[in-house]
Structure 1
Amino acid sequence: MTRPQLVVRARRMITPEGERAGAVGIADGVIVAVEPELDGPAFVDLADDEVLLPGLVDTHVHVNDPGRTEWEGFASATRAAAAGGVTTIVDMPLNSVPPTTDVAALDLKRATAFGRTHVDVGFWGGAVPGNLAELPALHEAGVFGFKCFLLHSGVDEFGHLSTGELAPAMAVLARIGALLIVHAEDPDLIERAPDPHGRAYRDFLASRPEEAEHRAIATLVDLARRTGARVHVLHLSSAGALPMIAAARRDGVAITAETCPHYLTLTAEEIADGATQFKCCPPIRDAANQDVLWQGLADGVIDCVVSDHSPCTADLKCSDTGDFGAAWGGIAGLQLGLPAVWTAARRRGVPLTEVVRWMARAPSELAGLAGKGAIEVGRDADLCVFAPDGEFTVDAAELFHRNAVSAYHGRRLTGVVRRTWLRGREVTGAAPHGKLLER
């Protein structure tokens, strides 16, 4: 065994085998030992009320840099991630300008991020109309997979794929062994739904019906079956799609799914008219739907929980008018995912080991990040010190997100992230030491 340079000792830590007491030995940024006791030249001892977790992995983050850095940016996003116990993020290809739809755009994004990240960062590519020939080159350049929309993405520079365009894209990705991640809402059903407008949340909810998710996922299942492509359903909000996903898996279709903290912790019943900070697409649905999403996680039909951090400037939320039709659809939750989910999980009797599996191990497996997501020998020494009984009230102005807009503002949450290490070095915000990752 390599001699540790640092030993972290905890009365409670979460490993792939479950919760235990023990010590983690770190050398050259890697976990070299996980034992009941370890010797070393330097020690960190966790307090009795703290639990040692693996650094979380968030595979659904919109950093918006370059091009819309007033919305977020690599420095602020990764500082917020670290403050929330997240040590690895994978950046979405849209809302930045240019979007990551060819190798030149990927190179620009990497140049923009270089030296500015407080956590490790990987990148998704984009599958859009007209870039079919770019997909193999982006794959070779190290993106972790490809995102597409089945309806308007919200920004004109990132087009959506029609069904006729989706099938050949999936065939190419199947051939090169790349993952397709999909914003799955059916455009025809959305087009026929009532237009979103005004202050009433129920009207906005009616504009994004559950059936739009169901039909889009049915299309994905059919095409995945025909092409052999691996597909992943992003930000699942409608629990009604779970039986279809489960059945497809039993049939051998390579389909996975994620949901987000806001769908697990917030409900339509509590969203006041005009409260546009809660607008996201697909929308936050009712409490009965939320209960079934939690069951979907317990049953393993939903694989992971990631933030879909989609921030914007305060004015784009139209808080002055409260118009859900005009407001930007997205929730900034990168820093708060762990305490938000843990607050709801402990109320439901869900153990912390499960939360860690959904928010660390499973996202790392989705993206193929073999060195991340677990306290285990050979993995990166990415660690989070978490006080599961600590409480705090969210103040949006105190978060590290660039803009002080939060659906969690004023909410009392349980669980406090006290320290975060990236590859054995504590993240303090003083000097970024994150790496840019390739598949």
Structure 2
Amino acid sequence: MTGDDQVLRSTRVVTPDGERPASVTVAGGTITGVLPYDAAVPGARLTDLGDDVLLPGLVDTHVHINDPGRSEWEGFATATAAAAAGGITTVIDMPLNSIPPTTTTAHLDVKRAAARGRVHVDTGFWGGAIPGNVKDLRPLHDAGVFGFKCFLLHSGVDEFPQLGAGELADALAEVTPFDGLLIVHAEDPLLIDAAPSRPGPKYADFLASRPPAAEDTAIAGLIALARRFGARIHILHLSSAGALPVIARARREGVRLTVETCPHFLTLTAEEVPDGATEFKCCPPIREAANQDALWQALTDGTIDCVVSDHSPSTVDLKARDTGDFAAAWGGISSLQLGLSAVWTEARRRGHTVADVARWMSAGPAALAGLGGTKGAVAPGYDADFAVLAPDATFTVDPARLHHRNPLTAYAGRTLHGVVRATYLGGQVIARDGELGAPAGRLLTRPAPAPAPAPR
């Protein structure tokens, strides 16, 4: 062993085979072994974590960092600091709401330049599919984006237009030959346009303006396209449980479809959203408790693959807190630092384990991004990225103590279980008890697929 080698020991280590006491050996930023708890490792620096849980660092594949261009909403330094403080070690940045959006390789270069040297966690980038940029999709893929995001209705920002039906088909025809992944905000624009739209502070009015049928219809259409093209499609931020039966059937039939949901859909309910509390606004919306129960069941049975934040912040004024007008407020939940604790709080109440949460928030997103060989597991050969969680400790959310740029969150004042004691990136502590070190994250590119075996 060398002076750089270390051992992290805990009575509760979450491995791909479940939770057990273990000593995890680390060298050169990589996990080298998962040994019996009392294994002797001469010459290695030992950190005894006691009964705190050592789990793989979380992977969040749905983060709006907004930098450059709208860095007053959020920025690389602040977003990744919040991620690190919350046990997240890898984020993939959405191609909007930055200016320029990540829709060409030149724009990707601008994004990477803005991030370089400022990220606390490993950071990758999605590309965007918008009208007129089909020719840019293959170059973006070759430049290392993890896939392509598109909208089926207005995105909320004019520089990232939605795809019409023909444009969506053209994008799939372009990316499927190189096995590109299309990730989709799935709400049907015609059903949204036909829904009642009433300005004002009543959450019930806002909820009626984003009916579950808009999600269900859009997802059914995407499944048909995935079948037609043999394409890979990922459904972003699933909110409507009504889509689950058709999703489950399509997956059983071999359609290449994956699905995510978000902490706010699993932990917050429409019944508890106060009128005028626009910090709860997101699109699609937080729905009723019965709908939430069905989302949890879909996580349990594997119909939903992963849980990611959809951290979509803005400046406080854009949330229209002065009027409480849900129609006027920016739609997005700020939760990057709180997702692990929020999900664990509800998961433990429902009888789930920390290992379940790690599967949904680490292994699942890592697999989605093609990082399953290096991220998302405490196993030999994986990056030494860890979150250390005190699962029974509690804290009350104080927005002033969060690291994301604007101190507004739907979780304010809530008492959550699960305190993140430390976060490790490549074997080094990057956050301890909410305090951050210098930015140490890397800029990631999509891993190349493993070569096919040679013919025998």
TM-score normalised according to structure 2 size: 0.95
Matched, 1:436 2:438: no
**Counterparts of 1:47-126 in structure 2 under 5 Å?**
47-48=50-51, 50-126=52-128
Determine the C-alpha separation between the residues in 1 that align with 2:304 and 2:441: 29
Q: Per-residue CA shift, 1:323-346, capped at 9, x if unaligned?
A: 000000000111000000000001
Q: Which runs of 5+ in 1 are unaligned?
A: none
What is the total number of aligned residue pairs between the two structures? 438
Q: Per-residue CA shift, 1:163-215, capped at 9, x if unaligned?
A: 11101111111111110000000000000001141000000000000000011
Cα contact 1:3–1:27 (8 A) shared by 2? no
Counterpart secondary structure, 1:224: helix
Matched, 1:42 2:57: no
Amino acid at match of 2:236: L
Match of residue 421 from structure 1: 424
Match of residue 8 from structure 1: 8
Match of residue 451 from structure 2: none
Quote the offset at 1:41 in angstroms.
Answer: 2.4
Determine the C-alpha separation between the residues in 2 that align with 1:309 and 1:38: 42
Determine the C-alpha separation between the residues in 1 that align with 2:198 and 2:82: 31
Match of residue 318 from structure 1: 320
Q: Per-residue CA shift, 1:35-66, capped at 9, x if unaligned?
A: 01241421111033x11011000000000000
Determine the C-alpha separation between the residues in 2 that align with 1:3 and 1:375: 22
Match of residue 137 from structure 1: 139
Quote the offset at 1:352 in angstroms.
Answer: 1.1
Give the alignment partner of residue 344 of structure 2, picking from 342, 345, 367.
342
Match of residue 309 from structure 2: 307
Match of residue 17 from structure 1: 17
Matched, 1:403 2:400: no
Amino acid at match of 1:23: S
Determine the C-alpha separation between the residues in 2 that align with 1:122 and 1:116: 13
Cα contact 1:171–1:228 (8 A) shared by 2? no
Cα contact 2:64–2:312 (8 A) shared by 1? yes
Match of residue 389 from structure 2: 386
Going from structure 1 to structure 2, the CA distance change for 1:38 and 1:220 (only over 3 Å counts) comes to farther
Determine the C-alpha separation between the residues in 1 that align with 2:17 and 2:44: 27
Match of residue 161 from structure 2: 159
Quote the offset at 1:80 in angstroms.
Answer: 0.3
Matched, 1:354 2:361: no
Q: Per-residue CA shift, 1:229-285, capped at 9, x if unaligned?
A: 100000000001000101111111100100000000000000011000000000000
Amino acid at match of 1:168: D
Determine the C-alpha separation between the residues in 1 that align with 2:57 and 2:198: 38
Quote the offset at 1:82 in angstroms.
Answer: 0.5
Going from structure 1 to structure 2, the CA distance change for 1:38 and 1:184 (only over 3 Å counts) comes to farther
Match of residue 332 from structure 2: 330
Going from structure 1 to structure 2, the CA distance change for 1:379 and 1:46 (only over 3 Å counts) comes to same
Amino acid at match of 2:386: L
Counterpart secondary structure, 2:114: helix
Determine the C-alpha separation between the residues in 2 that align with 1:85 and 1:304: 16
Counterpart secondary structure, 1:24: strand
Quote the offset at 1:3 in angstroms.
Answer: 9.6
Amino acid at match of 1:437: L
Q: Per-residue CA shift, 1:56-115, capped at 9, x if unaligned?
A: 000000000000000110000000001000000000000000000000000010010000
Amino acid at match of 2:382: R
Percent identity over paired residues: 66
Counterpart secondary structure, 1:70: coil
Counterpart secondary structure, 1:159: coil
Determine the C-alpha separation between the residues in 1 that align with 2:153 and 2:133: 17
Q: Which runs of 5+ in 2 are unaligned?
A: 447-456
Determine the C-alpha separation between the residues in 2 that align with 1:197 and 1:169: 35
Match of residue 216 from structure 1: 218
Quote the offset at 1:320 in angstroms.
Answer: 0.5
Counterpart secondary structure, 1:427: strand
What's the C-alpha RMSD, in Å, of the aligned pairs? Answer: 1.1
Dislocated runs of 4+, deviation >3 Å = 1-4
